[in-house]
Amino acid sequence: MPDIFSKEKRSDIMSKISGKETKPEILVRKYLFKQGFRFRKNVKSLPGTPDIVLPKLKTIILIHGCFWHGHINCSKATMPTTNTEFWNSKIQKNIDRDKKVNAELKKLGWKVIIIWDCKLKNKKIFEKTMQKLVSGI
């Protein structure tokens, strides 16, 4: 399916996407805070600037957007039909960087938990994901 926006408009839309303070991150942080967890966010001194860091529990929580991080078998991670070479390269670089960062964090003694954006959209799935998260911490 061709893009409904012009190349310039699509570029403008994509340039405004932020990597911090996203809705999924805020949802997870609010849930954790209500459960009594205290954390730091976007810690620059750690590899990859993790989204949520629980220092006392030596745990890091990364919230990944399904499209940007190449979530396998996810409907939200479908490849655009235009400029596919660029997008394949971009997303593969993100996947490779994620693997490298996760390995570095684990080498430093951190437990790394990844939460996918698609697991936060539906209220029922969100609750199940958060319960699993809390029990995994």
Residue boundaries of the structural domains of the chain = 22-136
Question: Can you state the percent helix, strand and coil of the chain, rounding each to 5?
Answer: 50, 10, 40
The 3-state DSSP class for residue 25 equals helix
63 contacts 22 by C-beta, under 8 angstroms: yes
Rounded Cα gap, residues 56 and 111, in angstroms: 12
- Mean pLDDT across 127-133: 87
And the tokens for 123? 């209220």
And the tokens for 71? 């979530």
Closest CA to 28 of 64, 4, 57: 64
Q: Is the pLDDT of residue 1 over 60?
A: no
Q: With cut-offs at 50, 70 and 90, classify the pLDDT of residue 127.
A: confident
Supply the pLDDT for residue 13.
65
For the whole model, what pTM was predicted?
0.81
Closest CA to 125 of 86, 76, 57, 52: 76
CB atoms < 10 A from the CB of 112, how many?
A: 17
Q: With cut-offs at 50, 70 and 90, classify the pLDDT of residue 98.
A: very high
Q: Is the pLDDT of residue 85 over 80?
A: yes
Supply the pLDDT for residue 46.
94
Q: pLDDT per residue over 36-72, tens digit each? A: 999 998 989 999 999 999 999 999 999 999 988 989 9
CATH number of 22-136: 3.40.960.10
